Chain A
Amino acid sequence: MTVETDADAGAASGGESAARRMDLLRFATAGSVDDGKSTLIGRLLYDTKSLFTDQLAAVEAVSAARGDEYTNLALLTDGLRAEREQGITIDVAYRYFATPRRKFIIADTPGHIQYTRNMVTGASTADLALILVDARKGLVEQSRRHAFLCSLLRVPHLVLCVNKMDLVDFSQDVFERIADEFTAFAAKLDVPDLTVVPVSALRGDNIVSRSPNMPWYEGPALLHHLERVHIASDRNLVDVRFPVQYVIRPQSTTVTDYRGYAGQVASGVLKAGDEVMVLPSGFTSRIASVETADGPVAEAFPPMSVTVRLTDEIDISRGDMICRPNNAPAVAQDIEAMVCWMDETRPLQVGGKYAIKHTTRSARAIVRGLHYRLDINSLHRDDSAGELRLNEIGRVRLRTTVPLLADEYRRNRTTGGFVIIDETTNRTVGAGMIVEAG
């Protein structure tokens, strides 16, 4: 027996209409246990009722058994055996919470081990990055590294949480000194939006509501900022980029002569009647319809997954890109990119050959040159470097076997990013951000 859901469920349920209004914000957190990052995340989860009693009880039991003086909320995310045994965080953990306004996905990146690889991974999809510093220590090398990586990955919004304000007597001077120093550093980077919040994660000051302990602070509480930070205009709605993912051609007697190009809109707005160009062929056509399984849609924009049908029968396959005749990405085999190396076994070397995946397109590439390796602490460029090792970042020139349909990463995070894959081990060994394609 099956139960049909009530036909009016959607309209009738207050929960559903609330769910309809919620949007999605992905954020990455950076910092170490010492900065109180786990406490902060635990606080956000707890105060939004996203932490469950059985999870908390399990963490309390393990903390007590290990003789921790306080409930170690890091254990919430450190679920792997090796992490528990060694007391370290190995990998990015994903956490979820929601308020009536927004659903949040946290990519919680560990502060110490493999921090670059993990931070780059977490930041790649983030709308916002949250960096923690301990108010007693102020900015440390790691805070600058985190800020740099966020700017490299073009995370649109940055929040610096100056934590443990209770341990500096909620001092406005301490806060402003740190905020000024960080703001000055961020000005040297490409940080479009920066907010600094004084908090005490342990005591809950300025997390969910404004703290009476810091009347001098006039900004929003952290959660209030996370709920309201304006992310809609971070999306690129100007440059039409539709990487063709899959061609839908039903082998069916009821649906005949159907040919649709399935994909997720990377940027821009697509609608029926628009003149489009298909790369790399350069053929032009018009959009006949933009469809989903629920029927045609008036417009498609990021991050919608849709099927585009054209008025002309032209040869299009996976890896091709639908764009506009007067606004197209580069069709290029020579790629200049910032590359972050992620493999511990073998370094990136000039002359090395790799597989790369860029949008829905795969290619092989040879490393033609390494211009410099970047010291991410000093931002110094070492142009004598001959290779990139694990967690190192450098500017690289690649030549690909087939043209990539590419934009600068700073203009388009989807059509500007690629991963490098070792062809023998099949491991993902690097992440690339296109600086120039030509």
Chain B
Amino acid sequence: MTAPAYQVSHLDALEAESIFVMREVVAEMERPVLLFSGGKDSIVMLRLAQKAFAPANVPFPVMHVDTGHNFPEVLEYRDQRVAELGLHLVVASVPDALARGLVRESPDGMRNRIQTPVLLAAVEQHRFDALFGGARRDEEKARAKERVFSFRDEFGQWDPKNQRPELWALYNGRHHPGESIRVFPLSNWTELDVWHYIARERIPLPSIYYAHEREVIERDGMLYAVNEFVRPRAGEELVKERVRYRTVGDASCTAAVRSDADTVEKVIEEVAATRITERGATRGDDRVSEAAMEDRKREGYF
């Protein structure tokens, strides 16, 4: 019984595992929601959700935690996708929360940290008990130790020293009212797996993932697009570069990389050859300290 016909590729195995995880959540949890940023990982996750429940519709809403610092191409993509799939979109808005006084702008103007209370307030308001996130274990070392089903207490906190053992494919989603589970169906995917899957499934992406001309400034060794949130400081020179985005996050702290990769095949080649992690290359927010991600996650970040 060793015929090659009974083997699956690694992409098929990853897909099967992710679909299994999503079905477990829908079968066992009361009110799941999928965190959708318009980034490639959440886009792949949404595709997997479509596949997991076909021919039925995706049986949960999607939520965008909107920092107000958006790339217009990404917002447009979000709205188009939501309309196409007939999804219910919940927007947890940081600008609204600022106006209501729920959070205050941080001195550096970055909204990465203040989106956490906004996310948690939306979870409480809608009584979501399971949140699908697109985080992958290869992204960051704190994430390398996170469970597929990651328990959060009533304050949304993650306790890395007190995680539930996760054996076989037996996921424990039990929780008390007010507590919740973050679920990461892409835990075992790498950046390259995600791109191979985007190619195989022919999934459209926001245009900023592919090489384009853009006016940027170089800051702390990273290329930031100049827009209404990022202004050149004294001594910073505005230059036109051919760039693309490896990750899509808050427009004030997500940097672009120099690239000529304007097709999915070229991106795959580029990612396969790169020697710098995607967060290391593009995220100002992870550079704060060695444990920046762990600290944010403990507070309830994605």
Contacts and interface: CB of A to CB of B under 8 A. Distances in A.
Nearest to B198: A5
Contacts of A98: 10, 190, 192
B193 interface: yes
A258 interface: yes
Contacts of B268: 13, 15-16
A140 interface: no
B141 A305 contact: no
Nearest to A123: B167
A405 to B, nearest CB: 14
Given A55-B280, A80-B145, A23 B10 contact: yes
A15 B167 contact: no
Contact of A303 (B16, B167, B174): B16
B196 A15 contact: yes
Interface residues of A, number: 93
Interface in B202-248: 202-207, 209-210
B265 A19 contact: no
B205 A77 contact: no
Interface in B146-185: 151, 160-161, 163-170, 172, 174-176
B200 A10 contact: yes
Nearest to A49: B275
A2 B41 CA distance: 16
A187 interface: no
Contacts of B52: 262, 293, 305
Interface in A20-43: 20-24
A82 B169 contact: no
A319 to B, nearest CB: 9
A305 B54 CA distance: 12
15 contacts: A3-B210, A52-B276, A78-B141, A79-B144, A98-B10, A103-B10, A233-B2, A248-B55, A255-B55, A258-B55, A292-B51, A299-B5, A342-B165, A360-B27, A426-B174
Interface of A: 1-7, 9-10, 12-13, 15-16, 19-24, 49, 52-55, 58, 62, 76-82, 84, 90-96, 98, 102-103, 105, 117, 120-121, 124-125, 230, 232-233, 235, 237-238, 245-246, 248-252, 255, 258, 262-264, 269, 292-294, 299, 301, 303-305, 318, 342, 355, 357-358, 360, 413-414, 417-419, 421, 426-428, 431
Interface of B: 1-2, 4-17, 19-20, 23-24, 26-27, 50-57, 73, 76-77, 80, 137-138, 140-142, 144-145, 151, 160-161, 163-170, 172, 174-176, 187-188, 190, 192-193, 196, 198-200, 202-207, 209-210, 263-265, 268-269, 272, 274-277, 280-281, 290-291, 294-295
